Amino acid sequence: MDLAGSGLPVTDFKSALQETLQALGQPQPSYVLVKEEGPEHNKIFTVEARLRTTEAEGKSEFVGRAAGSTKKKAEQDAARQVLEYLASLPRVVASKHPRKGQSSVNQ
């Protein structure tokens, strides 16, 4: 997935999501551990990335939910889901960050 517009694939979805939301003037997501299961040596963590709207304080607009062998992996996958959701919206362009030497203003 090329959400950054740089031609390189995004691998740090949490940072990409943070930058995208900041560019859109939206609040940052919250990451919530909703489930932890399995034996101590082989746990599975389920995390939600909750995207809040600016109009409704505390209310989630969209929730990405993912499971992984570490909290970090689950958070990254949940952030990826939120980025895909944002990219699917008509008001959000996949790349809000212009490439070097380009203007973000349409001529």
Residue 100 lies in a domain: no
Residue 99 lies in a domain: no
Residue 35 lies in a domain: yes
Q: Is the pLDDT of residue 99 over 70?
A: no
> For 56-82, what is each residue's pLDDT tens digit?
555 668 899 999 999 999 999 999 999
Give me the residues paired with residue 95 across strands: none
Tell me the torsion sign for CA atoms 65, 71, 76, 77.
negative
Cβ-based neighbours of 5, under 8 Å, separated by 6 or more: 94, 95, 97, 98, 99
CA 63 to CA 41: how far, in whole Å? 28
Residue 71 lies in a domain: yes
Under the banding of pLDDT at 50, 70 and 90, the label for residue 97 is very low
Residue 27 lies in a domain: yes
More confident residue, 94 or 88: 88
pTM for the full predicted model: 0.71
Residue 5 lies in a domain: no
pLDDT of residue 52: 79
More confident residue, 38 or 55: 38
Residue 35 near residue 62 (C-beta atoms within 8 A): no
Q: Is the pLDDT of residue 103 over 50?
A: no
Structural domains of the chain, count: 1
Domain that includes residue 53, residue range: 13-88
CATH classification of the domain holding 29: 3.30.160.20
Under the banding of pLDDT at 50, 70 and 90, the label for residue 90 is confident
